[in-house]
Structure 1
Amino acid sequence: MRSTSGEGRDEERTTPESERSEKRSVIAMRGELDPPGVPAELVAVFRPHLPALVERITTRVQDDIPEFAGPANGRRHKLIATAVSGAIRQFVEITLGRSRRSTRVDDLFRQMGYGEAAAGHDLTAIQNALKLGTREAWDEMRLLASQQGLSAAVLGELGDTLFAYIDHLADQITVGYNAARTARERDINVVRGRLLAALVRRAPSDEIETLAMNAAWPLPAGVVVFGADARGDVVIPNLGESKPSVLGRSDLQPALFVCSQDEADDVVAHIRSIAPGVRLARSWPVAVDEIPDARRWTVRALKLADLDVIPNQAVLDCEQHRTQIWLHSEPALRRRMTQELLRPLLAETPNSREILSETLLDWLQTRDSAPAIASRLGVHAQTVRYRWKRINELFGEALHDPEFVVQLTLVLKASVPLWVAGDQSDFERYLSEESS
C-alpha cells in the first residue's frame, strides 16, 4: 500500500495545471506571496549562482529582444541587470519568509512600465523580457532543487510562488505604463506645444524626434504651414480638439498651424467652416526642417496683402506670390536700394514718377517694342517713345550695365506695387534725405 505521504506527493504530482493557475491567481489577488517552505539549505546553495544567473538573463534579454539591445557595458545593460537582480533577490527573501513586499523593487518595475509608455512603446517587448527571465530563473531553480532532492510538492509550491511573484511584477509594469499614458494624454497639448516651438526654432533632430514621439505626432515627409489672422470680433479657433493631427498656436500674431501636406486642404475647409472670418496664408509643402522659413513666408504674405501688394483674399496661397514674398524678404534692403537706384525717379513729380516707373518696369520685364508696350499700357506708341526718352535722360548709360539692370528690375518689381497701393514712405524718405 501507498503511504499517506506518498499519496500526497502523487496527488501534487498529478494536480492539473488549471488548479495551479487558479492557486497562483488566488495568491496574486490576496496581494501576498506566501513562502513555499523551501529549506534554507537550498537557498544557501542557490545564492552563489545569483550573479551568473543575473548576467545570463540580462545578456539573453539584450540578445533575443531587439528593443533592449545594447553593449555589455552600456547603460541599458546596467538597468536591466539592476531590475533582474532586485527581482531575484526579493524572491529569495520571499522563499525564506523574510519579506512579502518590496517597495523598491515594485517602484523599479513601475518605472520600467512608465518608461515604455513615455517612449511610445507598447508592453510587448518588456513582457517578452519578463517571460524570458522567468524561464531562465525557473530552469535554474528546478535544476538545483532536483540536485538537492526537493520533493515534487515543495517544488510545485515554489513554482506557484515564483509565477505569482512574476504576475505581481507584471502588474507593477502595467500600473506604471497606464500612469504614463494617462499623464501623457493629459499633457499631450503641452507636449505638442513644445514640439511646435522646437520645430519653429529648428531644434536638433534628436530633440524633435523625441518630442514628436511623446506627442504622438509622427513626423510627416512634408508639411504645410499656415498663418492666420482675423479682424474685429472674429476668434481664431484652437484646433487641439477638433483637429488633433494639427499642431497649432492660436495665441500668436498671426496664429500658427502646421499639418501634413496631405491634410492641408481639409484644414483650410475646416477653419473656413467654423471661423469664416479668419484669413489664412498657406505655404507650399516643405520639409519639417523648413518650417521656420515657411512661417516667415506666411507672415510676410499676410503683411503684403494688408499693403495691397498682393490680392487680399480669404486664403492666400504663398506659392502664387513667391516672387513678391522673396522681393520683400529684406524690407530694409529694399528701402536702401530704392533710394540708391531709383533716386532719379523719386525726384520726379508724382504723376511723372507713376507713368515712367510703369513703362520702365514693363520694358525691363519684356524688352518688347514700343507698340507692344503701348498696347499693354493702353496708350499710343508715341507716348511710350516719349516716356522712354525721359527714362534715358534720368538713367543714361547705367541702362547698359547688366548688373544695374538686374537690380533695377527687382527693386522696381518690389516697389511699384507699394506705390500703386498708396505707400508714400519711399518718397518721404527721399525728401528727408535731400533736405538734411
Structure 2
Amino acid sequence: MTRRLPRSTASHGLALPARAVAEMREDLASVADKVVTAIINEVPSYDDALTGSMGENIRSAVRIALGGFLSLAGGRGGANPRTPTAPAAEGAYQLGRGEARNGRTTDALLSAYRIGARVSWREMSATAVRAGMDAETLAGFAELVFAYIDELSAASVAGHSDELATAGRVRQRLVERLARQLLTGAPAEAVLDTATRAEWEPPTTLTAVLIADSQVRPALASLPRATIAVVDSAELSEASGAPESTEGREGGLLLVPDAHGRARGALLRTIADLDAVAGPARPWLEVRASLDRARRTRTLGLGPDTEAHLPELVLSADADARADLRAAVLAPLADLRPGTAQKLTETLRSWLLHQGRRDDVAAELFVHAQTVRYRMGQLRELYGDDLEDPEKVLAMVIALG
C-alpha cells in the first residue's frame, strides 16, 4: 500500500534517490525561468512586474525555493527537517510583504503559487521519471511538492497580512499625529510632512464635527474616506487648551475634508439624526477655528449646524462684556419701577428689531398699537436723540438682541 504523507513537510520521511535529486538540481535555472514565464502569461497583475531586475530577483527566489525543496526531499535536513526550507520560507514571507506594498492582492499571489506548483511539478516529475524513480516514491514526491508549496504560500499570505496590518498601524499613528498637529498649532511645514508620510492628500477645507463616540462609525460610512476620526478627543482637547466638559470628556471628533459649499448640505444630512455639531468649513490648516466654534455651539446647547446660530454665537462671545453693555444701554430705565422698566425694555427691543413698524411690535407684544405709541413716547423722553444715533442704536441691538 502506498504510504500517505501528512500535508506538511515536517518529518516527511521521504528521501529521493540521489541521482534524481542531482539531475533536478541541474535543471533549477531552467525550471525557475519556466515558472516565471508561466506566471507572467497567466496572471495579468504580473504582466509588467517580473521584467528587468525585479524579474531576475523573482527567478533567484524561485531557484532558492526549489533548491530548499530539493535539500528537503533529498533528506539533507539532518535532525531538523525544516532547516533546508527556512531561507525559502523567509523569502516567501518577505515576498508577501513586498506584494502588499506594491498593492497586489493575495489572490494574485496565490494564483502565482498555484501556477508555480504546477509548472515545477511537471518539470521535476519528468526528470524524476527519467532518473528511474518508482511509482510509490513518485507519489510521495508529488504530495511533498504540494505540501511544500502550501507552506510557502502560507508564509507569503502571513507576510502580506502582517505588512497590511503594520502599514495600517503606522498610518493610523501618523493620522493621529496629524490631527494633534492641526489642533495644537504646529508649524505648517511639520503638518505637511506628516500628511505626506501618512499618504493623506490635503483637502481645500476641513470641517470639525463633534460627535458621540458610539456614533463615529455610523457617520464615517457616509463621509469621505479621507475623514480623520478621533474617538474620545479628550487628549486633543487638553493639548489644544480647550476647557474640560462637564462630563470630563469630549467624545468623538471628525475632521471632514471639503464639506464646504453645496457639500455642507450632505454633511448636515449625515449628522441630522446623530448627537453631533458641525463647525464651519475652514482652510484645512486652520481647522482648529472650526473645532472652537463647534465646542462653543455645543456648550450653548445649540446645533447641529453652527452656522445656523451665528447671532447667538456672536452675542455670547463675551458674556461679561455683553452684560456691561446691557446695563449701560438700560441705564435710563434704572429709576423706574421694575414692572415698568421690563415693559419698556421689551418694547424697545421689539421696536429695534422690527425697525419701528408699530403694528409688528404690537403683534409681537400682544398689545394695542396705541400702547406701543405711548411706550415709545416714554422711551423717547428717556433716551432722547440716542434713538436716532446709528452707533447708539447698534449698541442697543447688540445688548438686547
- Cα distance per residue 1:393-416 (max 9 Å; x no partner): 4459xx9xxxxxxxx8xx998xx2
Instruction: Write the distance in 2 (CA, Å) between the matches of 1:167 and 1:394.
Output: 85
Q: Per-residue deviation at 1:192?
A: 4.9
1:105 paired residue number: 88
Contact 2:279 2:307 in 1 (8 A): no
Where does the alignment leave 5 or more consecutive residues of structure 1 unmatched?
A: 1-10, 211-222, 229-236, 269-280, 307-311, 333-337, 339-345, 400-407, 422-436
TM-score, structure 2 normalization: 0.54
Q: Is 1:380 the equivalent of 2:364?
A: no
1:23 paired residue number: 5
1:303 paired residue number: 296
Q: Is 1:49 the equivalent of 2:30?
A: yes
2:278 paired residue number: 283
Q: Per-residue deviation at 1:77?
A: 5.6
Q: Per-residue deviation at 1:302?
A: 3.1
Query: Which segment drifts farther, 199-208 or 95-104?
Result: 199-208
Q: Per-residue deviation at 1:48?
A: 4.3
- Cα distance per residue 1:302-332 (max 9 Å; x no partner): 33565xxxxx33xx4231653418975xx89
1:5 paired residue number: none
For 1:6-405, list aligned pairs within 5 A: 22-25=4-7, 28-30=9-11, 34-39=15-20, 42-43=23-24, 45-50=26-31, 52-60=33-41, 64=43, 66=45, 70-73=48-51, 80-81=58-59, 83-95=61-73, 98=76, 100-113=83-96, 123-145=106-128, 148=130, 150-153=132-135, 155-173=138-156, 176=159, 192=172, 194-198=174-178, 201=182, 204=195, 207=198, 225-226=209-210, 247-248=230-231, 249-253=233-237, 255-258=250-253, 268=275, 282-283=277-278, 293=287, 296-303=289-296, 312-313=300-301, 316-319=302-305, 321-324=307-310, 349-351=328-330, 369-373=357-361, 375-376=363-364, 380-381=372-373, 386=380, 390-394=386-390
For these two proteins, the number of residue pairs brought into alignment is: 325
Identical columns (%): 18
Q: Per-residue deviation at 1:301?
A: 3.8
Contact 2:293 2:306 in 1 (8 A): no
Instruction: Write the distance in 1 (CA, Å) between the matches of 2:396 and 2:57.
Output: 66
Q: Indicate the SS of the match to 1:28.
A: coil
Q: Per-residue deviation at 1:134?
A: 0.8
Q: Indicate the SS of the match to 2:198.
A: helix
Instruction: Write the distance in 2 (CA, Å) between the matches of 1:256 and 1:133.
Output: 52
Instruction: Write the distance in 2 (CA, Å) between the matches of 1:83 and 1:357.
Output: 88
Q: Indicate the SS of the match to 1:101.
A: helix
Alpha-carbon spacing, 1:383–1:119, altered in 2? closer, same or farther (3 Å): farther
Contact 1:87 1:105 in 2 (8 A): yes
Contact 2:351 2:361 in 1 (8 A): yes
- Cα distance per residue 1:98-142 (max 9 Å; x no partner): 555243322222344567789999854433321121112222334
Query: Which segment drifts farther, 157-166 or 255-264?
Result: 255-264
Instruction: Write the distance in 2 (CA, Å) between the matches of 1:325 and 1:205.
Output: 39
Q: Per-residue deviation at 1:46?
A: 0.8
Instruction: Write the distance in 1 (CA, Å) between the matches of 2:384 and 2:329.
Output: 17
Instruction: Write the distance in 2 (CA, Å) between the matches of 1:196 and 1:31.
Output: 49
* RMSD between aligned residues: 5.9
Q: Per-residue deviation at 1:296?
A: 4.3
Alpha-carbon spacing, 1:164–1:136, altered in 2? closer, same or farther (3 Å): same
Instruction: Write the distance in 2 (CA, Å) between the matches of 1:284 and 1:46.
Output: 68
TM-score, structure 1 normalization: 0.51
- Cα distance per residue 1:342-393 (max 9 Å; x no partner): xxxx8x9432699999999978976563442465478724665847963544
Q: Which amino acid aligns with 1:350?
A: V
- Cα distance per residue 1:255-309 (max 9 Å; x no partner): 35147979958874xxxxxxxxxxxx522899xx97984x744532433565xxx
Alpha-carbon spacing, 1:300–1:358, altered in 2? closer, same or farther (3 Å): farther
1:234 paired residue number: none
Alpha-carbon spacing, 1:143–1:172, altered in 2? closer, same or farther (3 Å): same
Instruction: Write the distance in 1 (CA, Å) between the matches of 2:123 and 2:294.
Output: 71
Where does the alignment leave 5 or more consecutive residues of structure 2 unmatched?
A: 78-82, 183-190, 202-206, 222-228, 238-243, 245-249, 257-266, 334-340
Alpha-carbon spacing, 1:81–1:40, altered in 2? closer, same or farther (3 Å): closer
